[in-house]
Amino acid sequence: MKIFKMLAVSAMVLGMTSCISKKQYDALSSNYKQCIENVGERQREIQDLKSQNSALTSENNLLKSQHDALKSSLDACLSNSGKSSANIDKLVGEINASNSYIKQLISNNAKNDSLNLALSNKLKRSLDNVTDDDVQVKVLKGVVMISLSDKMLYKTGDYNVLPAAQEVLGKVAKVINDYDKYSVLIEGNTDNAPLASANLPRDNWDLSALRGTAVAKVLQTQFGVDPARITAGGRSEYNPKATNMSVSGRAENRRTEIIIMPKLDEFMKLMDIAPKK
C-alpha cells in the first residue's frame, strides 16, 4: 500500500514539474523508476512463493497418503503376527509329537528285532540236528521265517503230514509256545507243475492250502499251540523262491513256511500312538 501511495505522490509531483527545479525533478524521477522495479521484483517473489507453496502442498498430500498406507500395512502385519505365532506353535507341537512317535517306533522296532533274533537263535539251536535242505530259519523284515521242505513233510502230491516230520514240528511248537505273544502264519507253496484231479486236492491252490492247514492242525492238536494265534493258507505256485525251470528250483519252491511275528494288535497299538493330523 505504501508503494502505491509513493507512486501517487510521485505522479503528483511530476504533474507539478513546472513548480519544482530540474534537480528535484530528476531525483523524483529516479525514485519513481526504482519503485517500479521494486514492485516488479516483489510480484515475482510472490509468484515464486505461490508456486513453492503449491509444490509443498502436493508433496505433503503425497506423504500423508504414504503414511496412511504404511499404517494400514503395519496394522495388518500386527494382526497377522498373532495368527502366525499360533500356527508356528501348532507346527512345533506337531514336530515334537512326530519326534516322540519316531523315537518310540525305533525303540519298539529295536525291541522286536532283539526278540526275533533271540527266537531265531533258539530255533536254530533246537533244530541243529536237522538237515539244512529240509529246514531253513532266518529273520527277514522283522519276522522269523521257518521254511520246511515238502519231502520232509508230505508224500508227493499229498497233504497229510508224515510221521517223520513230527519231531521237527514238535521242536518248532515248543519255541512257538515259549513266545506266546507272537502270531503264527503258516503258508503252503508249490511249484508250477500242474495238478488236475477230480478229488482233493484238485489243483495247486488246493494242495498249498491243505498243506498249510495240515501243519496248523498238527501244531494245535499234538503240540498244544493256541489255534487263536494261527493263520493258515496257501499261495499255490505264485510265490516262488527259485526258478521252476530246474529240478532243484522246483524242489525249493515246494515248501511250507511257518512265519512267527508280533501279534497284529501290537502293531495296532503302535499305530494308535501316531501323532494325529
Taking only the tens place, the pLDDT of each residue in 190-236 is: 999 998 777 889 999 999 999 999 999 999 999 999 999 999 999 99
According to DSSP, residue 271 is labeled H
d(C-alpha 236, C-alpha 252), whole Å: 13
The residue ranges of every structural domain in the chain are: 110-271
pLDDT band for 272, please (50, 70, 90 cuts): low
pLDDT in tens, 49-85: 777 777 677 777 777 777 777 777 777 766 666 666 6
**Best CA proximity match to 246, nearest among 189, 197, 193:** 193
Q: What is the pLDDT of residues 79-137, one digit of tens each?
A: 666 666 666 666 666 666 666 666 665 666 666 667 667 777 777 777 776 666 788 88
CA distance 9 to 14: 9
Q: How far is CA 80 from the centre of its chain?
A: 26
What whole-number distance in Å separates Cα of residue 202 and Cα of residue 196? 5
Output the pTM of the full model: 0.58
Per-residue pLDDT band for 265 (boundaries 50, 70, 90) equals low
* 3-state class (DSSP) for residue 157: coil
Q: If you average pLDDT over residues 15-37, what whole number do you get?
A: 72
CATH class (in words) of the domain with range 110-271:
alpha beta
Instruction: Give burial (CB, 10 Å; 0-12/13-18/19+) of 139.
Output: middle
CA atoms of 161 and 152, how far apart (whole Å): 9
**Dihedral angle sign, alpha carbons of residues 125, 130, 133, 135:** negative
Distance CA 145, CA 120 (A): 8
Between CA 82 and CA 85, with CA 84 as vertex, the angle to 5 degrees is 65
Check pLDDT > 60 for residue 275: no
